[in-house]
Amino acid sequence: MIDIQDLNVVFGQGKQAFHAVRQVSLAVEAGQSFGLVGESGSGKTTVLRALAGLLDRVASVSGDMTVDGESLQQQRSKSFRQRVQMVFQDPYGSLHPRHTVDTILSEPARVHRLDRIEQRVVAALEEVGLDASFRFRYPHQISGGQRQRVSVARALITDPRIVLLDEPTSALDVSVQAEVLNLLMRLKREHGLTYVLVSHNLSVVAHMCETLSVMQNGAIVETMSVQQLREHNSTMPYTRQLLTASLGYDRGAIDAFEEFGS
């Protein structure tokens, strides 16, 4: 479904150049959920944005990307934009504050010249567990979890095949996180979606995905199955340290932490 070969992303030029993504290759099967994990600055979000075509104006992107049989050009095709949708991290920053939920949801439908927009909006809201009364509210009138549901509904409205999820629950309380993760799992089952999930939270990735790549300093350190992750079956010291750290505070283990080259 998704095939990325030797992706490189460089911000800036000359001496100022910053190599944010180095030689990243990955493949995601249709209907799979693929996780990208790493600490801040590891380049995981940049890979996602490069795939979505959000970086071409601000960075030099090179490498071959194929999505659903279509080899991606710098200018993404309209059908690509319909088939690939994204959900962003911050449910506060990613919804227009002066647009009602109805406007937010109907905009992508209008852009793609879809029919029956009103029915689509109501149906999308229902899919994410919000009733039609939410249509005429503004983002500031609903809670963080509800906003993230609206973001998911916005992604669904064009009937995509692939949804790119950038830390979709890291701004939410754990009880709300559970609801949103359950929602995402159900939608994936019902619509046969393919997910690429970026997260710093290994437990969330283990819950959602089948395969994951661990990133550090712009490169993929290791690609492994979630089963391997659960069994702590990793040969790479960086992954092992990340796993240890994810288990909680252990005074003894911390002294053994290493700095990994930056």
Partner 1 sequence: MGCAMSSIRRVVANVVDSPLLSVEDLHVTYHTPTGPVLAVKGVSFELGREKLGIVGESGSGKSQTGRAILGLTAPGGEVRARRLEFQDTDLLRADKRTMRRIRGGGISMIMQDPKYSLNPVMTVGKQIEEAFLVHSNDSKPEARRRTLEMLRAVQIREPERVYRAYPHEVSGGMGQRIMIAMMMIPEPSIIIADEPTSALDVTVQLQVLAVLDDMISERGMGLIFISHDLNLIASFCDRILIMYGGQVMEECRADELAQAKHPYTRGLLNCLPRLDGGQDGSQDELAVLRRDPAWLETREKMS
The residues binding partner 1 (CB under 8 A) are 39-40, 144, 173-175, 177-179, 181-182, 185, 200, 202-204, 206-208, 229-230, 241-243, 245-252, 254-255, 257
- At residue 61, the 3 state secondary structure works out as strand
Q: Which of 6, 28, 21, 12 is nearest to 165 (CA)?
A: 28
Q: Which of 214, 217, 219 is nearest to 22 (CA)?
A: 219
What is the rounded distance in angstroms from the CA atom of residue 73 to the CA atom of residue 181?
Answer: 32
CB of 149 to partner 1, least distance (A): 14
- At residue 25, the 3 state secondary structure works out as strand
Max intra-chain CA distance, the chain: 61
CB of 220 to partner 1, least distance (A): 18
What is the rounded distance in angstroms from the CA atom of residue 116 to the CA atom of residue 49?
Answer: 30
Backbone torsion region of residue 185, taken as left when φ is above 0, otherwise alpha when ψ lies between -120 and 50, otherwise beta: alpha
What are the tokens at 3? Answer: 């095939």
131: DSSP letter: -
Nearer to partner 1, 40 or 133 (CB): 40
Nearer to partner 1, 72 or 197 (CB): 197
Q: Which of 37, 41, 42 is nearest to 214 (CA)?
A: 37
Nearer to partner 1, 118 or 231 (CB): 231
Nearer to partner 1, 71 or 174 (CB): 174
CB of 256 to partner 1, least distance (A): 11
What is the rounded distance in angstroms from the CA atom of residue 231 to the CA atom of residue 212?
Answer: 14
Nearer to partner 1, 96 or 189 (CB): 189
CB of 202 to partner 1, least distance (A): 6
Distances (CA, A) of 64 to 6, 51, 74, 244: 7, 10, 11, 35
CB of 196 to partner 1, least distance (A): 18
CB of 172 to partner 1, least distance (A): 9
CB of 249 to partner 1, least distance (A): 4
Nearer to partner 1, 60 or 182 (CB): 182
Could you give the angle at the alpha carbon of 8 between the alpha carbons of 7 and 13, nearest 5°? 160
Nearer to partner 1, 111 or 253 (CB): 253
